[in-house]
A = this chain, B = another copy of it.
Amino acid sequence: MADPQLTTRVLRRLLANGLVTRAERLLARSHPADLAPMLGDLHADEVRTVVDILFRQHRAAATLRELPPEIFPQIFDALGDQRLADILTRLEIDDMLEMVEWLPEERRQPVTSRLPEEKAAELRKAERYPADSAGRAMTTRFVGLGLQMTAQQAIDRIRAVGDDTEAILYLYVVDEKGRLAGVVPIRRLVSAPPERALSELMIHDPVRCRADDDQEQAAQAVARYNLLAIPVVDEEDRLLGVITVDDVIEVITEEATEDIYNLAGLHEADRVFTTPLQSFRRRLPWMLLNLGALFVAAWVIGLFEHTLEQLVALAFFMPVVAGMGGNSGIQSLTVITRGIALGEIEFSSGLRLVAKELAVALAIGAVAGAVAAAMATLWQGSALLGGVLFVSMVVTIGVAGMLGAAVPLLLKALHQDPALGSGVIVTTVTDVVGFITFLGMGTLLIERLS
């Protein structure tokens, strides 16, 4: 694959030296998807110049829609209300909606009031769908064909629409009331005899989603059934729009990021290109929550002050017990939350999954515990200390594995996000269990240990 020809550095130098025509030529040769990342690196005045050039090339909207939305704010800051409205007008409704969502409150009215009335009305209508719904993700530019049309008539209709519409990979057939009747894959249309009726060509009862369905559901259906697009209907089954596969890829990528981020307690909008201040604000609450959890663990250790005073060597192994428990918990948690996200789990088999994770963790705890016990015995010269370490590692690693499976399954059953928050619950409980087991056994056996 060819690397993008134009780099931020080159572009910046051209602009700084006033070589606008040269910059224009290079910009014209670059794909919008390759230009987008550069915009994020430029200063406000450079962004303004580049967007002006792209606008003259009729590619400003196509380029901005390729940006990760987290970069929108800095682009918006560089552009005036009229220019933003011009760009919004040229976007498909789903992209327009996404951009408007990221507009700062105080600029929404000034910008949207500059939209042509038709576009403004379309926007108001789309904004009625719930956040992250299929209705907000769909494009409304699609070719709806009548049941009575022939293949040739359908092809003529597509010719009339031309290159403008992205969504003619599948052609949706509607009845006289606008209800979705079937779908004709364009390859089937092209290979059909011209006089064949669409009603004979179409696939009946195609997979569809409702406008108020979650966009993730729509994306999963496209992925599951290997579709190129999914039609979106209202409660009367009337065809409202289409979600195409490029948007589905975006949804899948976003959801994967969310899953990874949730495990680390990160806010979705905390990305490599967010400012340090934003990242700080978004990470701090989670870190303070963790601090609270760790102080619980510290308090538990404090309960065993007297024991530690008698045998300070116990303190050496506390991180081993807690750390191994934590790792075991995170492993189970990751397998289960990913399984949930990929739709590999039905809650009916929840108990079996918890039992499996427990069994695996106990087995790992036994092996790792035995190794740790041997090392501790050699180091500290006390087989009894090794024994205490072994037992507490088996218990802690086992409990962690069980919780790593049970907590996300429980959260899912309660209709909460299974990934969010599971991590801190599992590691806190694991720490507490680990310290109580290890230091508690140490307390009981302290006479023989020290």
Most buried by B among A266, A319, A331, A345: A319
Find A265's partner among B331, B338, B363 (CB 8 Å cutoff). B331
Instruction: Given A1-B213, A158-B187, verify A335-B295 contact (CB < 8 Å).
Output: no
Find A318's partner among B276, B279, B319 (CB 8 Å cutoff). B319
Looking at A17-25, A220-228, A234-242, the stretch in contact with chain B turns out to be A220-228
Are B256 and A334 in contact, with the CB atoms below 8 A?
no
Cβ of A441 under 8 Å from chain B: no
Looking at A99-107, A112-120, A160-168, A410-418, the stretch in contact with chain B turns out to be A160-168
Are A324 and B294 in contact, with the CB atoms below 8 A?
yes
Q: How far is the CA of A338 from the CA of B159 in the complex (A)?
A: 42
What 1/0 mask marks residues of chain A from 296 to 307 whose CB sits below 8 Å from any chain B CB? 011101100100
Cβ of A190 under 8 Å from chain B: yes
What copy number does this chain have within its complex?
2
* Complex contacts, A257 vs chain B, CB 8 Å: 338, 342
* A428 CB to nearest chain B CB (Å): 10
Cβ of A328 under 8 Å from chain B: yes
Are A294 and B320 in contact, with the CB atoms below 8 A?
yes
Find A290's partner among B256, B308, B327, B338 (CB 8 Å cutoff). B327
* A149 CB to nearest chain B CB (Å): 14
* Complex contacts, A279 vs chain B, CB 8 Å: 335, 356, 360
* Complex contacts, A42 vs chain B, CB 8 Å: none
* Complex contacts, A283 vs chain B, CB 8 Å: 331, 360, 364
Are B245 and A68 in contact, with the CB atoms below 8 A?
no
Instruction: Given A313-B305, A344-B272, A364-B284, verify A186-B191 contact (CB < 8 Å).
Output: no
Cβ of A315 under 8 Å from chain B: yes
Cβ of A10 under 8 Å from chain B: no
Are A320 and B344 in contact, with the CB atoms below 8 A?
no
Are B335 and A320 in contact, with the CB atoms below 8 A?
no
Find A249's partner among B208, B248, B330 (CB 8 Å cutoff). B248
Are A272 and B353 in contact, with the CB atoms below 8 A?
yes
Are A266 and B158 in contact, with the CB atoms below 8 A?
no
Looking at A52-60, A77-85, A366-374, the stretch in contact with chain B turns out to be A366-374
* Complex contacts, A319 vs chain B, CB 8 Å: 294, 297-298, 301, 318-319, 322, 431
Are B217 and A288 in contact, with the CB atoms below 8 A?
no
Find A316's partner among B260, B302, B327 (CB 8 Å cutoff). B302
Instruction: Given A291-B324, A327-B265, verify A338-B253 contact (CB < 8 Å).
Output: no
Find A338's partner among B261, B308, B334 (CB 8 Å cutoff). B261
Cβ of A31 under 8 Å from chain B: yes
Are B339 and A272 in contact, with the CB atoms below 8 A?
yes
Q: Considering the complex, give the chain B residue whose CB is closest to the CB of A308.
A: B312
Cβ of A359 under 8 Å from chain B: yes
Are A298 and B276 in contact, with the CB atoms below 8 A?
no
Cβ of A273 under 8 Å from chain B: yes
Q: Considering the complex, give the chain B residue whose CB is closest to the CB of A259.
A: B260
Q: How far is the CA of A226 from the CA of B62 in the complex (A)?
A: 12
* A63 CB to nearest chain B CB (Å): 13
Within residues 267 to 291 of chain A, which ones have a CB less than 8 A from any CB in chain B? 270-273, 276, 279-280, 283-284, 286-288, 290-291
Cβ of A336 under 8 Å from chain B: yes
- Please name 21 pairs of A and B residues whose Cβ atoms are closer than 8 Å in the assembled complex, sorted by A: A33-B224, A169-B186, A222-B249, A223-B253, A245-B245, A249-B249, A253-B256, A253-B342, A259-B260, A260-B260, A260-B334, A272-B353, A287-B327, A288-B367, A290-B323, A297-B320, A297-B323, A299-B316, A315-B318, A319-B319, A323-B427
A266-B331, A297-B320 given; name 8 further pairs at CB < 8 Å: A1-B213, A1-B218, A41-B349, A169-B186, A189-B190, A263-B264, A294-B324, A302-B313
> Ordered nearest first, which 3 A-B pairs have the shortest CB separation?
A256-B256, A272-B339, A226-B246
